[in-house]
Amino acid sequence: GAVVSQHPSWVICKSGTSVKIECRSLDFQATTMFWYRQFPKQSLMLMATSNEGSKATYEQGVEKDKFLINHASLTLSTLTVTSAHPEDSSFYICSADTSGRYEQYFGPGTRLTVT
Amino acid sequence: AQKITQTQPGMFVQEKEAVTLDCTYDTSDQSYGLFWYKQPSSGEMIFLIYQGSYDEQNATEGRYSLNFQKARKSANLVISASQLGDSAMYFCAMGSTSGTYKYIFGTGTRLKVLA
């Protein structure tokens, strides 16, 4: 149980275009979903926290107009990287938690490369 | 402010031996959780073990145990009987157990198990 999927697993896009990444909890309803960014050989950095039907809460220094988060349902959250630039190239990971459990369940990640 | 420190960037262990990965933390919260995750080269974050701040007994999950010393603010992960498949990056994380449960992560320890 507690499986989280992400789609796509990797994507290459041209500078200036937008990319949407989906995060789904497959067998449970997520109370909260989280989006992280991880640079090579570095730790995970929390970008934002989202709850279904509410606006996402962004961490300090994360541009909310650039990284649009939509939490449409209890099982789906999307991250859209708008007007992507090469410096946005990174590994993006989502996670979800569920009522009664403290641990977060992570998706497999999406590797974004902007050319 | 909350902080997680992992002082071992890399560790080696012989197959079948035990290894301890260090984690210290700092928080002013009274109620919090400590987590360990494994990240193999595929990138997926795999939940290993959880310790609540009010738990009196050290958490154990199979070959994983958490050596929790609250007064010293340490939450070291012990892996017994290491296997080649244990080679991965290991992250310690802390989250509040009230509110949004968002995590902060340590910088990670890369473990290499030697045959």
Cβ distance of B97 and A102 shorter than 8 Å: yes
Closest CA to B37 of A44, A75, A35: A44
Distances (CA, A) of A45 to A37, B11, B51, B106: 5, 23, 22, 10
Cβ distance of A43 and B105 shorter than 8 Å: yes
Q: How confident is the model at residue A72 (pLDDT cuts 50, 70, 90)?
A: confident
What's the average model confidence in pLDDT over A42-55? 89
Is residue B108 less than 8 Å (CB to CB) from chain A? yes
**What would the two tokens of residue B114 be?**
């030697």
Closest CA to A88 of A108, A115, A65: A115
What's the average model confidence in pLDDT over A67-76? 91
Low-confidence ranges of chain B (pLDDT < 50): none
Instruction: Give the pLDDT confidence score for residue A99 in this predicted structure.
Output: 74
- Report the alpha-carbon distance of residue A105 to residue A43 in Å, rounded: 17
Cβ distance of B100 and A57 shorter than 8 Å: yes
Buried b / exposed e across B26-65, counting CB within 10 Å, b at 16+? Answer: ebeeeebbbbbbbbeeebbbebbbbbebeeeeebeeeebb
Is residue A105 less than 8 Å (CB to CB) from chain B? yes
Cβ distance of B101 and A109 shorter than 8 Å: no
- Report the alpha-carbon distance of residue B3 to residue B5 in Å, rounded: 7
Instruction: Give the pLDDT confidence score for residue B97 in this predicted structure.
Output: 66
Q: What is the pLDDT of residues A1-38, one digit of tens each?
A: 689 999 999 999 999 999 999 999 999 898 889 999 99
Closest chain B C-alpha to A51 CA, distance in angstroms: 9
Is residue A110 less than 8 Å (CB to CB) from chain B? no
